[in-house]
Amino acid sequence: MLTIALPKGRIAQETLEIFEKTFNEEFKFENRKLILQKGDFKFLLVRNQDVPIYVYHQAADLGVVGLDVLREKDLNLVELLDLGIGKCRVCVGMKNEDSLDLNKPEIKIATKMVNIAKQHFSKKAMAVEVVKLYGSIELAPLVGLCDAIVDIVETGNTMRENGLKVVETIMHSSAHLIANQNSFISKKSEILNLYFKIKEVLENR
C-alpha cells in the first residue's frame, strides 16, 4: 500500500486523471471525504503547502506538489518526477508605474513565499524587509503595504487586472512527484514500479 498526499484543487484532479490512465480504474474522492482508498493506493487531500510536511513526516509515502512549494519548504525529500501539470512562475511584481529602485536602502516585499523571496534578493545583494501574507498578495502594493511582491503567476490575469507587472521571473514551477526518504528505501520496488508506469503514461500524452 502506498499513501499519496495530493494538494486540494486542480492538481489533485489532474493527478488522479494520470492515475486513471495509468491503471485503467476510476479514482474519485466522494463528496467531502479527505481519504480515498482504492487498490494499492490511499490518497490524502491536503493543503498545497502541507504536502511536503505530510511526506517528510511519513504520514504519506509520496506526494504531489509544486516545485515552488518544495523550494520554499526545503525539506529532505526525494524528487522523483516532474508531472508537467500545474505550470506557473514565481515572479517579482510591482505596480505598472513603479520600477525596482536599486539605490533604496531597503525594499519592502510582501509574499507568502518568504524563503524564496529572501534567497532571491540576498543573491542580488539587495536588502529587503519581507512581510509574510497568506493570500491576495496582489493587493499589498496597491495599498502601500510593500514596494513589490513575490508571487505565483499562472495566466498573469490577477496581476494585469490589478495594474501590476512582472519585473523578474525567479523560477519556473510545475507539480512534482516526491517521496519520503525512508519510504523510498522500504517500499522501493512499489515506488519504482509506480514511477515507471506513470512516466510511460506521461511520455505518451
For residue 45, CA distances in Å to 54, 101, 146 come to 11, 42, 33
Binding residues for ligand PRP, rule: CB under 6 A, are 135, 137-138, 151-158
Judged by CB, which is closer to ligand PRP: 30, or 161? 161
Ranges of H-type helices in the chain: 10-23, 51-56, 67-73, 114-123, 157-161, 181-186, 188-203
In the complex, least distance from residue 84 CB atom to ligand PRP, rounded to whole angstroms: 18
Q: What CA–CA distance (Å, rounded) separates 173 from 145?
A: 27
User: CB neighbours of 113 closer than 8 A, spacing ≥ 6?
Assistant: 68, 72, 90, 150, 151
Judged by CB, which is closer to ligand PRP: 31, or 157? 157
DSSP one-letter code for 79: E
In the complex, least distance from residue 158 CB atom to ligand PRP, rounded to whole angstroms: 3
In the complex, least distance from residue 137 CB atom to ligand PRP, rounded to whole angstroms: 5
Judged by CB, which is closer to ligand PRP: 94, or 153? 153
Phi then psi for residue 160, to 5 deg, are: -60, -45
In the complex, least distance from residue 103 CB atom to ligand PRP, rounded to whole angstroms: 29
Q: What CA–CA distance (Å, rounded) separates 179 from 79?
A: 7
Phi then psi for residue 15, to 5 deg, are: -65, -40
In the complex, least distance from residue 168 CB atom to ligand PRP, rounded to whole angstroms: 15
Judged by CB, which is closer to ligand PRP: 91, or 177? 91
Pair 141, 164: CB distance under 8 Å: yes
Judged by CB, which is closer to ligand PRP: 129, or 154? 154
